[in-house]
Amino acid sequence: MQMRGKWFKSKKMILPLAMAAVALVSGCTSGSAGLTVTKTVTTTAQVTTPVMTMTDFTSVIAAVRPSVVAITTEVPGYSIFGAYTQEQAGSGWIIDANGLVVTNNHVVEGASSVTVTLEDGRAFAAQAVYSDAYSDLAVIKINAQNLPAAKLGDSSSLRVGDWVVAIGNSLGLGISATKGIVSATGVSVTESTGNTLYNLIQTDAAINPGNSGGPLVNLAGEVIGINSVKISDVGVEGMGYAISIEEAYPILQQLVSNGHISRPDMGANFYTVNQAIASLYGLAVSQGALITQVTSNGPADTAGLRAGDVITAVDGTVVMTADGLQLLLQSYKVGQQVQVTYYRGSSKQTISVTLAEAY
C-alpha cells in the first residue's frame, strides 16, 4: 500500500534533537591559578533506518531449475482440409525421483503423444498420463530414475508481498524464470470452459504461454504453486495465477495412487443467489445455491430436489454461494449421505442426499 502524506518541519523538533546531544567533559589545571578548562564535544544521535537487502534470485533458480522440465505434445486436429497435428509446449516439474512429473491438465489434454525434456537435454516419451480436468492437474510417468525432485513448500503460510519465482518453458523457447510477489491468496477463477479453479495464488510474476504446469517457488527454492492461468485482456497487467500446493497435493496423491480422482457429486448445476437474483426470481432467501438443472436419476433427482430449489446448508454448514457449495461437497466422500437444507418457494425443508461419483 502506498502511503501518501506531507513531509514538514516543526520547531518542536528542535528540543528532542538538542537533548540528543551528548556533552563529554574532561577537567585539567593550568598553572597556579587553578584555571579549569572545560572541553565540550557535541555528537548527534544516530538514527538507523531499515535497509532492503538485495534478494539472491540466482541461487533460488539454480536450486530449482534441474527439477523443471519442458513438455511437448502433439494434438490431432481436423479442418476442412483434413486431419493435421498441432505441436504445443508446456512446462512441468519433477515431484518424484522415479519419473513422476507434475503439470496442468490443459497441457496434456487431447494429446496423442507427450514428450518430457529434462534440464540436461534428455527426452522421454510419456509412459502414462493421469489427469483431472476439474482441478487442471496432471501427472506424467516417464521411464527414468534418480531424477532431481523438487522440494515442496507450505503455501498456507504465504503472505501478500512475499517474493516468488515462476519457472518454465516460456513460449516454448526453453526454461526461463520471472520474479514477482504474491498479490493475493485464496482466489477463485472461472476459466473460459466454465470450470472454476479454487484456492489460487495470484502473482505479478509473468506467466506466459508455455509456463503452464511449471513451478511457482518461494525464496527457499520450494514449490508452493503450479502455474496455471493468466488473465489476458486490454488494460490488464500482472494477473497470473498458480494452483496452491496445499490444494494440489492431495489431488496429485490420488492421481498417482488411483490414476483418477474420485470426486463426490450431487448431480445438479448451481447458481449463486444474491439480492438481485432473489428479487428477479422471487426467492425467499438472498443467499445460497440455486439449483438450475438436475441430472436425471442423479443423487439430487433421486432425493427429490428439483430446479428452482435453493440450498442454504449442508449438514448444518451454511451455504452462501454456488462455489461455496461445490467446495463443501469436496470435503465428503463418494457414497456418503448428507443432510441438505433448502427452500422451495417460502417453505424451508431438509432432505437426505447420497453423494455419487462425479463424471
pLDDT tens digits for range 34-88: 333 333 344 444 555 444 455 788 999 999 999 999 999 998 888 888 888 888 9
Structural domain harbouring 32: 16-43
Q: What is the tens place of the pLDDT at every residue in 232-271?
A: 444 455 578 999 999 999 999 999 998 888 889 999 999 9
Residue 195: pLDDT band (50, 70, 90) is confident
Same domain for 177 and 125: no
User: Cα–Cα distance between 73 and 87 in angstroms, integer?
Assistant: 6
pLDDT at 115: 95
The C-alpha cell 472454476 sits at 196
User: Cα–Cα distance between 251 and 254 in angstroms, integer?
Assistant: 5
Provide the CATH number for the domain around residue 289. 2.30.42.10
Q: Which of 206-210, 290-294, 317-321 has the weakest average pLDDT?
A: 206-210
Same domain for 133 and 184: no
In one letter, which amino acid is 173? Answer: L
Listed in sequence order, the residues at least 6 apart from 42 whose beta carbon sits closer than 8 Å to its beta carbon are 21, 22, 23
Please report the DSSP string for 76-112 in residue order.
EEEETTEEEEEEEEEEEEEEETTTEEEE-HHHHTT-S
For residue 61, report the phi and psi dihedrals to the nearest 5 degrees.
-65, -40
pLDDT at 210: 85
Contact 268, 293 (CB under 8 A): yes
Residue 170: pLDDT band (50, 70, 90) is confident
Same domain for 37 and 122: no
Same domain for 285 and 189: no
- Between the alpha carbon of residue 50 and those of residues 47, 54, 116, the distances in Å are 10, 13, 45
Cell of 121: 537435454
First to last CA, the chain: 44
106 noted as active-site residue: yes
User: Cα–Cα distance between 352 and 63 in angstroms, integer?
Assistant: 52
Same domain for 165 and 236: yes
Residue 7 included in any domain: no
Among 108, 141, 174, where does a domain finish?
141
Q: What is the tens place of the pLDDT at every residue in 281-294?
A: 999 999 999 999 99
The residue from 67, 176, 212, 244 that is catalytic is 212
Q: Is residue 215 predicted with pLDDT exceeding 90?
A: yes
pLDDT at 30: 39
pLDDT at 218: 95
Residue 124: pLDDT band (50, 70, 90) is very high
Let me know how long the chain is: 359
Residue 70 included in any domain: yes
- The residue that leads in pLDDT, 356 or 172, is 356
Same domain for 65 and 37: no
Residue of 254, 188, 249, 253 whose CA lies nearest to 215: 249
Same domain for 252 and 160: yes
Domain count, the chain: 4
Q: What letters, b where the CB count within 10 A reaches 16 and e where it falls short, cover 235-258?
A: eeeebbbbbbbbbbbebbebbeee
Same domain for 269 and 247: no
The residue from 67, 106, 183, 265 that is catalytic is 106
Among 198, 232, 258, where does a domain finish?
258
Q: Is residue 10 predicted with pLDDT exceeding 60?
A: no
DSSP strand pairing (222-230 vs 151-152): parallel
Q: Is residue 197 predicted with pLDDT exceeding 70?
A: yes
pLDDT at 24: 31
Sign of the CA dihedral 26, 27, 30, 35? positive
Q: Is residue 6 predicted with pLDDT exceeding 50?
A: no
Residue 189 included in any domain: yes
For the chain, the farthest-separated pair of C-alpha atoms sits apart, in whole angstroms, at 118
Residue 342 included in any domain: yes
Residue 1 included in any domain: no
Q: What letters, b where the CB count within 10 A reaches 16 and e where it falls short, cover 277-289?
A: bbeeeebeeebbb
pLDDT at 263: 86
Same domain for 298 and 227: no
Residue 54 included in any domain: no
pLDDT at 264: 92
Q: Is 317 helix (H, G, I), strand (E, B) or coil?
A: strand
Percent of the chain's residues with pLDDT above 70? 82
Q: Which of 44-53, 87-96, 316-325 has the weakest average pLDDT?
A: 44-53
- The residue that leads in pLDDT, 226 or 25, is 226
Provide the CATH number for the domain around residue 108. 2.40.10.10
- The residue that leads in pLDDT, 326 or 124, is 124
Residue 157 included in any domain: yes
Among 202, 229, 258, where does a domain finish?
258
Residue 230: pLDDT band (50, 70, 90) is low
The rounded mean pLDDT for the chain is 83
The residue from 136, 155, 170, 309 that is catalytic is 136
Q: Is residue 26 predicted with pLDDT exceeding 60?
A: no
User: Cα–Cα distance between 263 and 174 in angstroms, integer?
Assistant: 36
Same domain for 173 and 86: no
User: Cα–Cα distance between 333 and 265 in angstroms, integer?
Assistant: 9
Same domain for 252 and 282: no
Same domain for 340 and 289: yes
Phi-psi region of 308 (alpha: psi -120 to 50; beta: other; left: phi over 0): left
Residue 5 included in any domain: no
User: Cα–Cα distance between 208 and 323 in angstroms, integer?
Assistant: 27
